[in-house]
Structure formats: structure tokens, C-alpha cells
């Protein structure tokens, strides 16, 4: 119970970032993507989702070279102490420039199997992009949302593969749906409700599973 309360408090602490600026800029109203962490954890690397589910931002202060893989597991982005680089041969570079992947133009020179060709895109240690793995990109809402559009839903869990100095890790998170303000569910703080309920549901499932395992081990 204490763990659940702590997690709910963490959700409250995150709420101003998620809900303090109205509808998400660039995102699709109703969908909220949340980065839950790195597996395994990499000290000095942080991630967050911007604009509801619009963009993924990674900051690398670890001193290590962080490589983010594209949609075909090709080298996509490289974060170093000297800046951030994109692989111009990666199809993900061009797909991730547009919120709607159908509007992206992928040149014939893009080839996931080709050796990387790096181009500097940022002088600092952070970069943000439209990552379609954290979004709902279909034209029709998920079946659960179609059945109950006024309810909060967990749509999917996602993972973005990466490595730090050659050691694999992944950025993990989940995509949820929260009824937009003005719906029958009320408009007090839908983004806050989504964050807290999402964290509580996932945490609760983990706590219940842990409790069952503990009971099985006990004599």
C-alpha cells in the first residue's frame, strides 16, 4: 500500500509537466505516452515524452556513447560528449521527422542495411524526435476506445532499443488513452488522471504478483 501511495505521489509530481499547458502540442488529443524508464538503468541517461505522445526526448550526460536503433534495428541516432548525430542512411531519420509517417519522404538513398553515415544535428547532449513506436498512428482509434470512449485505457506497452558503449538497453513505457476535456467523464484534470491511474494500475499489478510469489515461497 505504501508503494502504491508513493507511486501515486510520483504521478502527481509529474502532472504539471503533462497537464499544465493544455492540450499536447503536436500530439493527438486523448493519447498520452509515458516513459517508465530504462532497462537496465543507465546512469546519466534520461528520457521523457513531450506533447502527450508527440515526441521522445533523450538526454545523455553519462559520458558514454549512446546509440538509438531505428524501426528496422539499424543505427539511427548517436549521442556523444561532442553532440548528437543522425545516420542519414537510416529510414527512421526521415520517418521520424513527421508526426504522421504517411507524410514522410524517405529518399532512395536510405537503406537500413547500409553502413552508417553520420551527420551532426545538435551540439548539446539532448535531442527529441517523433518516434512512432510510442504513438498511436492508425487512422481509427483502438477497439477499446471505440467501445468505451469516455474511459481511461492502457493501449500498449512500448520499447525503443538502444545501447550505451555497446551494452544494450531499452527505453520502455506505455501508451494510454484519456478522455479529452469536456467529455462525460468530466474535464477537471484528464491528463493527471491518466498519469496517476496508469501508474497505479501497473504498480498494483506488480504488487499483487509480488505478493503472490512471496506467499508461494513462505512455508
> How do the pLDDT tens digits run along the chain, 219 residues long?
444 334 333 343 343 333 322 334 555 678 999 999 999 999 999 999 999 999 999 999 999 999 999 999 999 999 999 999 999 999 999 999 999 989 999 999 999 999 999 999 999 999 999 999 999 988 899 999 999 999 999 999 999 999 999 999 999 999 999 988 765 544 334 444 445 445 544 544 444 344 445 445 544
Residue 201, domain member (yes or no): no
Residue 15, domain member (yes or no): no
Structure confidence at residue 147 (pLDDT)? 95
Structure confidence at residue 199 (pLDDT)? 52
Number of structural domains in the chain: 1
Q: Is 138 exposed, middle or buried (0-12, 13-18, 19+ CB in 10 A)?
A: exposed
Structure confidence at residue 181 (pLDDT)? 76
Residue 197, domain member (yes or no): no
CA proximity to 124, closest of 61, 44, 65: 61
Range of the domain at 138: 24-179
Q: Is 16 exposed, middle or buried (0-12, 13-18, 19+ CB in 10 A)?
A: exposed
Residue 162, domain member (yes or no): yes
Task: Please say whether the beta carbons of 129 and 68 come within 8 A.
Answer: no
Structure confidence at residue 113 (pLDDT)? 97
β-sheet bridge partners, residue 169: 162
Task: Please say whether the beta carbons of 76 and 87 come within 8 A.
Answer: yes
Structure confidence at residue 29 (pLDDT)? 75
Residue 67, domain member (yes or no): yes
Residue 203, domain member (yes or no): no
Residue 184, domain member (yes or no): no
Residue 205, domain member (yes or no): no
- Count of beta carbons in the 10 Å neighbourhood of residue 141: 17
DSSP SS3 for 36: strand
Structure confidence at residue 144 (pLDDT)? 93
Structure confidence at residue 187 (pLDDT)? 39
Close Cβ partners of 196 (under 8 Å, ≥ 6 residues apart): 8, 11, 12, 15
Amino acid at each position: 500500500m505504501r508503494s502504491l501511495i508513493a507511486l501515486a505521489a510520483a504521478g502527481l509530481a509529474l502532472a504539471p509537466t503533462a497537464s499544465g499547458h493544455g492540450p499536447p502540442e503536436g500530439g493527438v488529443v486523448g493519447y498520452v505516452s509515458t516513459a517508465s524508464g530504462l532497462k537496465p538503468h543507465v546512469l546519466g541517461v534520461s528520457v521523457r515524452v513531450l506533447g502527450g505522445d508527440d515526441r521522445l526526448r533523450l538526454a545523455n550526460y553519462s559520458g558514454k556513447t549512446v546509440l538509438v536503433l531505428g524501426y528496422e534495428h539499424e543505427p539511427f541516432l548517436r549521442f556523444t560528449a561532442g553532440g548528437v548525430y543522425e545516420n542519414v542512411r537510416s529510414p527512421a531519420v526521415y520517418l521520424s521527422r513527421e508526426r504522421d509517417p504517411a507524410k514522410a519522404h524517405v529518399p532512395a538513398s536510405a537503406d537500413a542495411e547500409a553502413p552508417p553515415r553520420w551527420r551532426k544535428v545538435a551540439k548539446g547532449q539532448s535531442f527529441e524526435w517523433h518516434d512512432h513506436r510510442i504513438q498511436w498512428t492508425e487512422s481509427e482509434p483502438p477497439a477499446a476506445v471505440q467501445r468505451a470512449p469516455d474511459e481511461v485505457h492502457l493501449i500498449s506497452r512500448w520499447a525503443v532499443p538502444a545501447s550505451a558503449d555497446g551494452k544494450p538497453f531499452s527505453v520502455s513505457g506505455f501508451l494510454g488513452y484519456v478522455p479529452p476535456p469536456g467529455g462525460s467523464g468530466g474535464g477537471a484534470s484528464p491528463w493527471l488522471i491518466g498519469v496517476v491511474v496508469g501508474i497505479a494500475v501497473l504498480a498494483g499489478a506488480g504488487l499483487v504478483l509480488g505478493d503472490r510469489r512471496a506467499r508461494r515461497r513462505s512455508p
